[in-house]
Amino acid sequence: MAWETVIGLEIHVQLNTKSKIFSGASTEFGAEPNTQACAVDLGLPGVLPVVNAEVYPKAVAFGLGVGASISKISAFDRKNYFYPDLPKGYQITQMDKPIVLGGSVDIPLADGTLKQVNITRAHLEEDAGKSLHEEFQQSTGIDLNRAGTPLLEIVSEPDMRSAKEAVAYAKYIHQLVTYLGVSDGNMAEGSLRCDANVSIRPSGTTEMGTRTETKNVNSFRFLERAINFEVQRQQQVLESGGRIVQETRLFDPDRDETRPMRSKETAMDYRYFPEPDLLPVKIDEAFIAEVKNSMPELPREKAARFANQYQLTQADAQVLAADPDLANYFEDTVQHCHDAKTTGNWVRVELLARLNRDDIHITDLALSAEQFGILLSRISDKTISGKIAKDILDALWQGEAQSVDEYIEKNDLKQVSDSGSLAPLIEKIIADNPKQAEQYRQGKTKLLGFFVGQVMKETAGKANPQQVNELVRTKLS
Amino acid sequence: MKITDTVVKNIADLTQLTFDKRELASFSTSMSEILELVEQMQQVDTTGVEPMSNPLDATQRLREDVVTEENQRETYQGIAPETEDGIYLVPKVIE
Amino acid sequence: MTMHERSIVQQLDDLHSGKYSAVELTRHYLDRIQRHEALNCYITVLEEKALAGANAADSARAEGQNHLLGGIPIAHKDIFCTEGIKTSAGSKMLDSFIAPYDATVVAKLAAAGVVTLGKTNMDEFAMGSSNETSFYGPVRNPWDTTRVPGGSSGGSAAAVAAGLCSAATGTDTGGSIRQPSAHCGITGLKPTYGRISRWGMIAFASSLDQAGPMARTAEDAALLLQVMSGSDSLDSTSLDEPVPDYRADLTRSLEGLRIGLCEDFFATGLEADSEQVIQEAITVFEQLGAKISRVALPHIAQSIPAYYVIAPAEASANLSRFDGIRFGYRCENPSNLEDLYSRSRSEGFGEEVKRRIMIGAFTLSTGYYDAYYRKAQQIRRLIKIDFQTAFEQVDILLGPTSPQPAFKQGEKTDDQVAMYLQDIYTIAGNLAGLPAMSIPAGFSSKLPVGVQLIGNYMQEGRILNAAHQFQQQTDWHLRSPGAVGAGD
C-alpha cells in the first residue's frame, strides 16, 4: 500500500536576550551548573516573575517576518506538570493569547520549487532546566541554568509531506530567526529544537492518522533520521495490522531510532489557566510599526529586489536571498565585480558547492568578497577564462593565493587573445589532424570543439576560448 | 457534584499527593461538600461577561533586558535537601 | 499606662523623650512573649537579633537619626521571607526553610528602623480561618484562650492584642487580616491589591493576596501602611502609583461622608449581638456627621463560591514548587522520583492545604474549567462591577467583619463549609481588590466584635480617616484582654 506522510513541527527558538524572560539572571551559554539560576528561576518561595521587555520586539519581528497577525493583547498562562527540571511545577507559557497568530513561509525545495508551509501560531514561554541522566550512578542531576531562558515556540500546520520537506522548513525557520536577529541560531547550544508530529495515511485519503510526537530533536540531520525512522515504524505497525499509539517519543541518535518516553508526565492534563502573577501586555500599532521599521529586509523582499536590481533569475535570486549572510556576500562581491549576473551565478554554483563540500558557513569563509569580486571581474574583462578562474578560486580556497592579480601575474595565467601568436598554433594543429579537418569541412561542424580543445590544451587554458573559436572557424573554412 | 474516590485518586496523581483508603473517603466527602457550595455560582447568568483574572485592569510593567543577578549557588544550595558538585539530585529518572 | 498599651505613635514620643529606650521596650515585649508562650503566637522569637536591632535603634536615635519607626518592635507573619531566618508559612514543608532573602515588606520596615521580635504563627500557607491548621499548633485567643483568634494571620492578631509586639504584619487573601483583627479586637487593614509588593511573601492565591498592617489603632496602621506601600520592580503587579501621606488625612472631619450599608451583609447568618454592635457603630458615624444609605451588591452572595474556585486553583499551582528538590521538606529514602514527589508533598502538607490543592486542580481539569474556573472569573467581574456601581453613590461601605465573634477551638474543624462561611463578609473585597479594614466596635459575650470599612480603589486614606475618627469617639480599641493581664 502507498502511504502519505503528514508532518507538523513545533520549533523552539531561543531568543537572544541577555537576561532571562522572567528574571535578571544571565542566559549566557556554558556556565557552571546552577550558577545562572537565580531565586526566580529556582522557583523559591515568595519570588515573582517580571517580564523581560526585549522578548516582545523579537516575537513581533518573527510574526511580521512570516506575515502573521500580532495579538493586540498578549497574556501568559500556567501549564501545570511535575518534572524535576521544571522548578515551579508549572511552565509560564501562552495558551489563550499567543503573541503571533497565523502566517506562512515559502520553502525552497531541492527541485527548485517553492513550498508554502502555514504557521498556526508562535508563543512566548520559558525554557525548563536540564536533566543529567548519565553523570551520577544512583541519581539524576538537575542543572537549572537554562530554566527561564526565553523561547518562541513556533507551531506549524501539518503541511509537510516528507522528512526532507520538514528539514527544509526547519532550516528556513533557522535562517529566518537568525537573519531577523531574534536568535543566535546556535544549534549546538540548543538555540533551536524541534518536536516532530508525524503520522501517515493511505495515499489519496484525507483523514489524519494517529500521530506521535518525537521531542527535542536538536539537529537537522537527526530530524530527518527521526522522521524517516518514525514513518517506517508506523508503516510496519499499520501493515502488520497494528495500531499507532498516540504518544511522546524520543530520538536516540546512537541507535538511530525513536522510542516512547518512559518518564513523561504521568498525566497529560496540564490545567492551563491565566498566570495571576503577570498582567496582560498590550501591543499597539505604533509598537508594531516601530519593530517593522527596524527590521532587516525579509528574504521574500530581498529576492524580489535581487531579481529586479541585478536582473537575476527568480530561482537564483531566491537562493541568494534565503541566507542573509550569503546575500550580503553576494552584494559585497558585486561591489567589486559589476557583472551581477556572473556574480550571482558563481556564488550560487561555484561558491555554494565548495561551502557545502567543506561544510563551512559563508561567515567563516577566509576568501574576502573583494578578492572574489576581483577574480570574477577578470573573467568579465577577459583577462582570464572561466576555467582558469575556477583554478584560481581553488588556489584562493586552499590559501595558496592571496591576491588574484598577483597570482595571475606570477603564474602567467592571462589568457592569450593575441591572434598573432594563436594563428600559427592553430595552423599547426589543423596540419597535425588532417582527417578531422577534412570531416569538418564536409559538414561535421561538431568537430570545432575538438580543435578548440586542442588549442586550449596547448595553451594550458590561457587562450581566450571565444577568440580561439573564431580563429579555428576561419582557418578551417 | 459528587466526587468519587476514583476522581480523588486521579486528581491526587495530577498533584503528586497520595492518600490512603480512609483519606480517600474523607476527601471525596469534603470535596463533594465544597463543590456543592461552589455550584451556587450556576444560579447566576454570566452570558457575555468577560472573565476577570486580576482585580487591576492595568497592563504589565516590563523589565529592561539587563543581567542583574549574580551567582548565588552556594546560598541557594545551602537550603537544598541533596546536591553534588553544584547539581541538584533526585532519584534516577529513566527516560 | 504600661509600655505595651501605648500606641506606636505614643511609643515613638516616649522613645524620643527618653522615657524608655528601644532596648527596654524590646525587652519588655520579649518578657511578655515568654510569659504568654501558651498563646502560641510566635513560631520563631528572635531575641538576640531583636536586642541588637533595638541597640542599633537607640544609637541611631542618639545620633539624631529619625527613622519613621525607629526602635518600634514588631512581628512578621511567618509567610514573609526573612533573610537568614526560618520562614515556615506554618507548614512542616518549610520547617527547615531559611529564607535567602527578605520580602520587600520586611526590607522596607527594616529600613524604617523597626525591631523584629519574631515570626508569628499562622494557618498553614494562610489556608484557614481559625489558626488551627498550623503545623506549630493553634494560636489561642487572648480574650478567651479556649477560642480561636481567627485566621490566617491569627498569630499576628493575637500578639498585637496580647501586647506581645507593637504591631505586626499580616496577609489577607480572603479576610486573613480583617477576620482575626475582629476576633482579637485590633485594627487591621488590607490595602488595594497591588498597593504593597508581594515579593518575598509566600504565595497562596496570587491575584488575591495582599499584605497589610495589624495594629492597635488606625493611626498606627496608617503609619505602617506608609512604610509598607509602594511600587516594586520585583513585583510587576504592584501599583505604579505614588504613596500619599496617609496620616495627613486622619484628622479630616467626617461631615458629609457617605457611608453605604450593604443589605446582604445584614441579611442572614449575622449573630444578633454582633449586629447590635454594628448598629451602634453606625450611630457613632452618624454622630460624626456621616450620611448613611443603603446600597445593593447583588452578586455578593456569590463571592464565597467564586472564591473557593479561584483561590484553590491559584494555590494548586503556587504550591507545586514544594516538591522536595531545591528546598524544604524531603521524605526519607525515596525509592524513585514519583515516590519523592508524592511522599514529600503528602507528608509535608497538612490536610487543609491538600484539600485546597485538590479542589483547585479539579476545577482546572479538563472538562471542568469552564463550569468552575471561568464561571468564577466571570462572577468576579460582576462583583467588581457591583462595587463600582456602589461607589458611585457612597464613599465607603460599612458592614460586619465576621458573622459572629471568635468561636471555640475545634468547633468547626470537621466542617469545612462552616469554616469557609466565616469569610462571607471579607472575601468580596479580595475578589474586587479593594482596600478594607476591620476596627474594634464593641463586644458580644465579652468577645470583641469588628466593624468592616471598605473603600474604593486606592482610598486607604479615606477608610483610615473614618476609622481614626471613630477611634477618637470610642475606646473599644483601647480595651485589653483580661486573659493576659493588662496591667503588667
Note the pLDDT tens digit of each residue in A265-323.
445 799 999 999 999 999 999 999 999 999 988 888 898 999 999 999 887 888 888 77
pLDDT at C487: 43
* Contact yes or no for C305/C376 (Cβ under 8 A): yes
- Asked if pLDDT for residue A110 goes beyond 60, the answer is yes
C44 φ, ψ (degrees, to nearest 5): -135, 130
Q: If we measure between CA atoms, which residue out of C77, C79, C113 comes closest to residue C99?
A: C79
pLDDT at C397: 98
Instruction: Give residue C31's domain range.
Output: 3-259+392-478
pLDDT class for B95, splitting at 50, 70, 90? low
- Asked if pLDDT for residue C346 goes beyond 80, the answer is yes
A117 and A58 in a common domain: yes
DSSP code per residue over A92-116:
EE-SSS-SEE--EEEEEPTTS-EEE
Percent of chain A whose pLDDT exceeds 70: 97
Q: Does some domain include residue B89? A: no
Q: Residue B84 is nearest to which of A18, A39, A136, comparing CB atoms?
A: A136
**Domain boundary residue among A243, A265, A289?**
A289
Q: Which residue is closest to A142 within chain C, CA to CA?
A: C325
* Residue the block writes with cell 520587600: C104
**Domain boundary residue among A410, A431, A456?**
A410
Distance (Å) of CA A333 to CA A31, A375, C149? 39, 10, 82
Percent of chain C whose pLDDT exceeds 90: 94
A276 and A391 in a common domain: no
Note the pLDDT tens digit of each residue in B27-73.
999 999 999 999 999 999 999 999 999 998 777 889 999 999 999 99
Q: Number of folded domains in chain A?
A: 3
Chain B window 17-76: which residues touch C at a Cβ cutoff of 8 Å?
A: 17-19, 27, 30-31, 33-44, 46, 49-56, 58, 60-63, 72, 75-76
Nearest chain C CA: its distance from B55 CA (Å): 5
Task: Specify whether C342 is catalytic.
Answer: no
Mean pLDDT of A71-92: 96
Please give the Cα distance from B8 to B24 (Å, whole number): 7
Q: If we measure between CA atoms, which residue out of C33, C435, C51 comes closest to residue C239?
A: C435
Note the pLDDT tens digit of each residue in C473-482.
999 999 999 7
pLDDT at C382: 97
Q: Residue C320 is nearest to which of A90, A263, A278, comparing CB atoms?
A: A90
ω before C152 within 30° of 0 (cis)?
Answer: yes
List C77, C119, C190, C412, catalytic entry: C77
Please give the Cα distance from C210 to C174 (Å, whole number): 10
**Domain boundary residue among A273, A289, A305?**
A289
Q: Does some domain include residue C52? A: yes
Please give the Cα distance from A2 to C401 (Å, whole number): 73
The strand pairing partners of A100, in sequence order, are A70, A122
Q: Say which range, A10-14, A53-57, A305-309, C432-436, has the weakest mean pLDDT.
A: A305-309
The strand pairing partners of A248, in sequence order, are A213
A171 and A62 in a common domain: yes
Instruction: Give residue A373's domain range.
Output: 297-410
- For C5, other C-beta atoms within 10 Å of its C-beta total 14
Retrieve residue C191's grid coordinates: 490595602
A311 and A240 in a common domain: no
Q: Number of folded domains in chain C?
A: 1
Chain A window 226-285: which residues touch B at a Cβ cutoff of 8 Å?
A: 250, 261-263, 266-267, 269, 271, 274, 276, 278-282
Please give the Cα distance from B35 to A329 (Å, whole number): 67
Q: Number of folded domains in chain B?
A: 1
Q: Which chains touch C (3 or more CB pairs under 8 A)?
A: A, B
CB within 8 Å: A84 and B88: yes
Q: Say which range, A49-63, A110-124, B66-80, has the weakest mean pLDDT.
A: A110-124
Q: Which residues of B touch C305 (CB under 8 A)?
A: 37-41
What amino acid is encoded at A210 in this protein?
A: T
- For B33, other C-beta atoms within 10 Å of its C-beta total 16
Handedness of CA C242, C246, C248, C252 (dihedral sign): positive
Please give the Cα distance from C69 to C15 (Å, whole number): 10
Give A444's contacts (C-beta < 8 A, 6+ positions apart). Answer: none
Q: Which residues of B touch C194 (CB under 8 A)?
A: 55-56, 58
Q: Residue A45 is nearest to which of C97, C233, C373, comparing CB atoms?
A: C97
Environment class of B39 (CB within 10 Å of its CB; exposed 0-12, middle 13-18, buried 19+): middle
Best mutation target among C83, C378, C385, C430 (most B Cβ atoms within 10 Å) is: C378
A392 and A320 in a common domain: yes
Tell whether C361 lies on the interface with B, counting CB pairs under 8 A: yes
Note the pLDDT tens digit of each residue in C47-70.
999 999 999 999 999 999 989 999
Q: Which residues of B touch C205 (CB under 8 A)?
A: none
Strands annotated E in A100-247 = 100-101, 104-108, 114-126, 130-132, 139-143, 150-156, 192-202, 212-217
A48 and A125 in a common domain: yes
Mean pLDDT of C321-347: 97
pLDDT at C488: 46
Could you tell me the CATH number of the domain that includes residue A449? 1.10.10.410
Q: Which residue is closest to A278 within chain B, CA to CA?
A: B60
Q: Which residues of C touch A21 (CB under 8 A)?
A: none
**Counts for chain B of helices (H) and strands (E), in that order:** 3, 2
- Asked if pLDDT for residue A425 goes beyond 50, the answer is yes
CB within 8 Å: B34 and C384: no
CB within 8 Å: C378 and B90: no
Note the pLDDT tens digit of each residue in A334-361.
999 888 989 998 998 899 889 888 888 8
Q: Which chains touch B (3 or more CB pairs under 8 A)?
A: A, C
Q: Which residue is closest to C387 within chain B, CA to CA?
A: B55
Percent of chain C whose pLDDT exceeds 70: 99
Note the pLDDT tens digit of each residue in C425-449.
999 999 999 999 999 999 999 999 9
Nearest chain C CA: its distance from B68 CA (Å): 12
Task: Specify whether C438 is catalytic.
Answer: no
Distance (Å) of CA A104 to CA A65, A156, A300, C195? 9, 9, 12, 44
Instruction: Give residue B10's domain range.
Output: 5-42
Please report the ipTM that was assigned to this predicted complex: 0.97
A396 and A464 in a common domain: no
DSSP code per residue over A268-291:
-----EE-TTS--EE--HHHHHHH
pLDDT class for A410, splitting at 50, 70, 90? confident
Q: If we measure between CA atoms, which residue out of A283, A348, A277, A276 comes closest to residue A310?
A: A348
CB within 8 Å: B41 and C299: no
Best mutation target among C94, C239, C332, C362 (most B Cβ atoms within 10 Å) is: C362
Please give the Cα distance from A369 to A50 (Å, whole number): 45
pLDDT class for A144, splitting at 50, 70, 90? very high
Q: Which residue is closest to B23 within chain C, CA to CA?
A: C351
Q: Does some domain include residue B28? A: yes
Q: If we measure between CA atoms, which residue out of A343, A348, A351, A352 comes closest to residue A310?
A: A343
Q: Does some domain include residue B34? A: yes
Retrieve residue C235's grid coordinates: 513585583
pLDDT at A362: 87
* Contact yes or no for A190/A222 (Cβ under 8 A): no
List C7, C21, C130, C176, catalytic entry: C176
Could you tell me the CATH number of the domain that includes residue C416? 3.90.1300.10
Give A110's contacts (C-beta < 8 A, 6+ positions apart). Answer: A164, A168
Mean pLDDT of C302-323: 97
A125 and A71 in a common domain: yes
Environment class of A96 (CB within 10 Å of its CB; exposed 0-12, middle 13-18, buried 19+): middle
- Asked if pLDDT for residue A409 goes beyond 90, the answer is no
Q: Which residue is closest to A22 within chain B, CA to CA?
A: B63
Task: Specify whether C130 is catalytic.
Answer: no
CB within 8 Å: B66 and A24: yes
Q: Which residues of A touch B95 (CB under 8 A)?
A: 131, 133, 250, 261-263
Q: Does some domain include residue C37? A: yes
List C129, C130, C152, C316, catalytic entry: C152
